[in-house]
Amino acid sequence: MKKMMLVGETRSGKSSLIKALSDGEYIPRRAMAVEYYGQFINTPGEFLENSRFYHALITSSADCQILALVLDATRKSSLFPPLFVSMFNRKIVGVVTNINASTADVGRAEQFLRSAGAKVVVCVCAESGEGLDSLREMLN
Ligand SMILES: Nc1nc2c(ncn2[C@@H]2O[C@H](COP(=O)(O)OP(=O)(O)OP(=O)(O)O)[C@@H](O)[C@H]2O)c(=O)[nH]1
Ligand SMILES: [Mg+2]
């Protein structure tokens, strides 16, 4: 069983993803601090949005094997800087969430994650469960 830390903007779908992957048992809260739940480490969106918190992300990533960069497919911009992943010496997976929304542009989101340095990108919908199996495989 591997541990996964999730990093992404506010409302990018980190908590929904943990809830879906933990069979609905996780109760999402607006966490203002790093939160540990089973195999998951949830981080506040603010930690990505304000680079003065990057050190907290780097420190917390020591506790995980997989770092997930979470991006909502409907977002027209991304706060992941180019080669963001170079700060972390962890296995990286890019996760595009909310792929079933009417304004989703999965290709655009994937491009943002690739420019951040993610070599593997998976596309998921936390509501329908689409795409979650590939993440489950990584966690096992
Ligand atoms: N339809 C759909 N809605 C989603 C999906 N993922 C997240 N949402 C919705 O997007 C909103 C934000 O999701 P959260 O999981 O709370 O986002 P978060 O990244 O944990 O946000 P913070 O904790 O504020 O940083 C919620 O209203 C979710 O229901 C998805 O895959 N599909
Ligand atoms: Mg959350």
Domain residues for the domain of 26 are 4-139
Tens-digit pLDDT profile for residues 76-126: 999 999 999 999 999 999 999 999 999 999 999 999 999 999 999 999 999
CATH (domain of 135): 3.40.50.300
Say which residue the tokens 């420019």 belong to: 115
**Spatial separation of the C-alpha atoms in residues 38 and 29, rounded to whole Å:** 15
Among protein residues, the one with the nearest Cα to ligand 1's atom 14 is: 13
Query: Which residues does a 6 A CB cutoff place in the pocket of ligand 1?
Result: 8, 10-16, 28, 30-31, 44-45, 97-98, 100-101, 125-127
- Domains identified in the chain, total number: 1
The rounded Å distance from CA 29 to ligand 1 centre is: 11
CA distances, 55 to each of 48, 50, 60, 88, 115 (Å): 10, 11, 9, 11, 21
Q: What is the DSSP string of 43-56?
A: --THHHHSGGGHHH
Task: Taking residues 55-79, report their average pLDDT.
Answer: 97
Query: Does pLDDT of 69 surpass 90?
Result: yes
